[in-house]
Amino acid sequence: MYLTSATLVRSASGGAPVAFVALTLARPGHGGAALGGVLAALLTLPNIAGPWLARWLEGARDPRLRLAAAFTLFGLMLAGAGLALDHVPIVVVGSLVVIGGLCEPLMTGGLSSRLALIVGEDTRAQRRAEGWDSATYGSSNILGPAAVAALTALAGPLTAVVALGAAGVVAGLLMLALPKEHRTSAARQRSMPVRDALKVIVRRGPLRRVMVATMITSVSTGGVMVIAVVLGNDLQGSAGAGAALGAAYGVGNLCGALLTGAFPLTGEPERWVLRLIAANAVAVGLCALAPGYVLALVTFALAGATSAILFTASLAVRSVYSPPNARAQVFVTMAGLKMAAGSAGTALAGTLVGVGPRLALCLNAIVVAAAVSIAVTDLRLTRRRSSGADCEDAPSPTA
């Protein structure tokens, strides 16, 4: 039930930007693709309020009810914005989109933060569930735009927007069927203030290192699709070849997530994160060195797979090291910072491809490798400080 609800609501979120652009293009005199882009941006802008929304979620006696309400509201606002486009001022349409966007942090990090509490305390079951949860992100990024494309071709873009809204409402109803959370006494404490939760992320070593490392890595992954289109065109002489490279990355990403669902990660999750960032750096480097189109397809799929497994490991770090009364805030804050870094990477890639897609990929691989170096340096410095503190606290030897 969780996977169905998560896939539906995240597919609605993933398809919404495409649907808005398609809808505004079909409405002459409404601003075309430019207006669609503005509406898509308004949908993601409210993510900055994520930590406060996460605290609201944590303060609930039964978070399922608030998640259900958020998913339903998202669906209604999405459909409402589409239906209102021809009948009310654009400002009103934008307001509906912003209200819907306020629900997005709860659909990503907010929902993922509750997973371990639903599954229970068994570590292997939690890691398996996180793998399947990661798969919902990968599948939604494919299913959402694909559903929009199909529905737009069959019945028009408005139908696609309304269908995405309906998916959000259904996801909200399914949330009510989930089992109650297994919350410890610590988790039932009053939710931690946002400022204190942010301090925890900065001061708690594994959270800090993973946050910084995944943000840096996201600068690379955020630009992969842009670079793929240019590289594919260079290798095969067609934009379709570039789209296929992007699709290979997406398929690899989904397969990697499914793999961690079938074979859960074991051991210290932070160590997994560092290893997988290194593996991702190698995979991105191989993309740059691929001599032909077929090998490029393979290397992009490999890069997507390592990225998905890395994401699953980062979910495990958040789950293990988050304070019980600030889980949602940690999940949402780290997810929001990662998304912001990915957006910056997308914009940066558009500039870098001008000097050549292979060079851009090489630079991306260097950036990802730097993330590992920074995290390892932080880890060593933290251990050195801890050892020094232990020595200072040790009693002096007596004669």
Residues 328, 106: Cα–Cα separation, whole Å: 9
The neighbour count for residue 259, using CB atoms within 10 Å, is 18
Domain layout of the chain by residue ranges: 1-183, 191-399
Residues 99, 170: Cα–Cα separation, whole Å: 18
Query: What distances in angstroms separate CA 397 from CA 151, 253, 385, 390, 393, one per listed residue?
Result: 78, 57, 22, 15, 12
pLDDT greater than 50 at residue 399: no
Q: Which of 61, 45, 17, 36 is closest to 149 using CA atoms?
A: 17
* Out of 23-32, 232-241, 248-257, 297-306, least confident range: 23-32
Let me know if the fold of 1-183 is the same as that of 191-399: yes
Helix (H, G, I), strand (E, B) or coil at 40: helix
Q: What is the DSSP letter of 107?
A: I
Residue type, 173: L
pLDDT greater than 80 at residue 316: yes
pLDDT of residue 145: 84
pLDDT of residue 242: 79
Residues 266, 269: Cα–Cα separation, whole Å: 8
Which of the residue ranges 27-31, 183-187, 331-335, 382-386 has the most confident prediction, judged by mean pLDDT? 331-335
pLDDT of residue 393: 44
Cβ 142 vs Cβ 331: under 8 Å:
no
Domain boundaries 1-183, corresponding CATH code: 1.20.1250.20
Residues 213, 389: Cα–Cα separation, whole Å: 26
Mean predicted confidence (pLDDT) in 291-318: 92
Residues 378, 57: Cα–Cα separation, whole Å: 32
- For residue 181, the surrounding DSSP H or E stretch is none
Give tens-digit pLDDT for 61-83: 888 899 999 999 999 999 999 89
For residue 338, give both structure tokens. 């990662």
Mean pLDDT of the chain: 85
Please state the CATH superfamily assignment of the domain spanning residues 191-399 in this structure.
Answer: MFS general substrate transporter like domains (1.20.1250.20)
Residues 162, 76: Cα–Cα separation, whole Å: 9
For residue 207, give both structure tokens. 């959270």
What φ, ψ does residue 131 adopt, rounded to 5°? -65, -45
Residues 272, 70: Cα–Cα separation, whole Å: 33
Residues 26, 153: Cα–Cα separation, whole Å: 12
